[in-house]
Structure 1
Amino acid sequence: MAAQRRAMVFVLGSAFALALPLLSTSPALAAAGVPVLDGARLSPLWALPFLGMLLSIALFPLLAGHFWHHHYGKVALFWALVFAVPFAATYGPAATAYEVVHTALLEYIPFIILLFALFTVSGGVLVTGNLKGTPEVNTAILAIGTLIASLIGTTGASMVLIRPLLRANDDRRHNVHTVVFFIFLVSNIGGSLTPLGDPPLFLGFLKGVNFFWTTTHLLHDTAVIAGILLVAFYLLDRYLYAREEAGVRLPDPTPRTEGLGLRGAQNLPLLGGIIGAILLSALWKPGITFNVYGTHVELQWVVRDVLLVALALVSLAITPAIVRERNGFDWEPIMEVAKLFAAIFLTIIPVIAILKAGSRGAFSPLVDLVTGPDGQPVNVWYFWLTGTLSSFLDNAPTYLVFFNLAGGDPHQLMGPLAVTLEAISAGAVFMGAMTYIGNAPNFMVLSIARHRGVKMPSFFGYMGWSIVFLVPCFALLTVLYFL
Structure 2
Amino acid sequence: MKLRFVWAGAVAAAWFAAPALAAADAPAIDGRELGFIWVVPFIGILLSIAVMPLAVPRFWHRHFGKVSAVWAALVIVPFAIVHGVPTAAYEIVHLLLLDYIPFIVLLLALFTVTGGIHIKGNLHGSPSMNTALLAVGTVLAGWMGTTGASMLLIRPVIRANDSRRHKVHVFIFFIFLVSNIGGALTPLGDPPLFLGFLKGVSFFWTTTNLLGEVLACSIVLLAVFYAIDSYWYRKEGDSAPDPTPDSTISLEGGANIILLMGIVGVILASGTWTPGIHFSIWHVTLELQHVLRDVALIVVCALSLKLTPARLRSDNGFGWAPMAEVAKLFAGIFITIAPALAILRAGKDGVMAPLVALVTDASGQPNDVWYFWLTGILSSFLDNAPTYLVFFNLAGGDAGVLMGASAGTLAAISCGAVFMGANSYIGNAPNFMVKAVVEEAGIRMPSFFGYMAWSGGILVPLFILLTFLFVA
TM-score by length of 1: 0.84
Match of 2:40 in 1: 48
SS in 1 for 2:280: strand
- Measure, in 2, the Cα distance between the counterparts of 1:165 and 1:18: 45
Match of 2:56 in 1: 64
Match of 1:329 in 2: 318
Answering whether residue 264 of structure 2 is matched by residue 275 of structure 1, we say: yes
Distance 1:43 1:275, change over 3 A: same
Match of 2:345 in 1: 356
Flag as ranges the 4+ runs of structure 1 deviating above 6 A.
Answer: 17-20
Match of 2:413 in 1: 424
Match of 2:148 in 1: 156
Q: Is the 8 A contact 2:186 2:207 kept in 1?
A: yes
1:45-444 alignment to 2 at 5 Å?
45-170=37-162, 175-202=167-194, 204=196, 211-241=203-233, 255-256=244-245, 258-391=247-380, 395-396=384-385, 398-399=387-388, 402-403=391-392, 405-406=394-395, 413-444=402-433
Amino acid at match of 1:92: G
1:74-109 alpha-carbon deviations (Å, 9 max, x no partner): 333333333333333333332322222222212221
- Measure, in 2, the Cα distance between the counterparts of 1:355 and 1:465: 34
Distance 1:445 1:95, change over 3 A: farther
Distance 1:410 1:452, change over 3 A: same
Q: How many residues align?
A: 465
Distance 1:82 1:241, change over 3 A: farther
Q: Is the 8 A contact 2:162 2:244 kept in 1?
A: no
- Measure, in 2, the Cα distance between the counterparts of 1:18 and 1:397: 27
Distance 1:454 1:478, change over 3 A: same
SS in 2 for 1:255: coil
1:269 deviates by 0.6
1:163 deviates by 2.8
Amino acid at match of 2:343: I
What is the RMSD of the two structures over their aligned residues, measured on CA atoms? 3.3
Distance 1:420 1:78, change over 3 A: closer
1:268 deviates by 0.6
Structure 1's unaligned 5+ residue stretches are 1-13
1:316-353 alpha-carbon deviations (Å, 9 max, x no partner): 11111111111222222212222222222222222333
- Measure, in 2, the Cα distance between the counterparts of 1:413 and 1:281: 20
SS in 2 for 1:118: helix
Q: Is the 8 A contact 1:145 1:161 kept in 2?
A: yes
1:137 deviates by 2.5
- Measure, in 2, the Cα distance between the counterparts of 1:377 and 1:18: 45
Amino acid at match of 1:229: L
Q: Is the 8 A contact 1:352 1:397 kept in 2?
A: no
SS in 1 for 2:342: helix
Q: Is the 8 A contact 1:333 1:447 kept in 2?
A: no
- Over the matched positions of the two proteins, sequence identity in percent amounts to 58
Q: Is the 8 A contact 1:382 1:420 kept in 2?
A: yes
Match of 2:455 among 463, 466, 472: 466
Range that drifts further, 117-126 or 41-50: 41-50
Q: Is the 8 A contact 2:49 2:382 kept in 1?
A: no
Amino acid at match of 1:153: G
1:278 deviates by 1.0
Structure 2's unaligned 5+ residue stretches are 1-5
1:66 deviates by 2.7
1:56 deviates by 2.6
- Measure, in 1, the Cα distance between the counterparts of 2:146 and 2:453: 22
1:406 deviates by 4.6
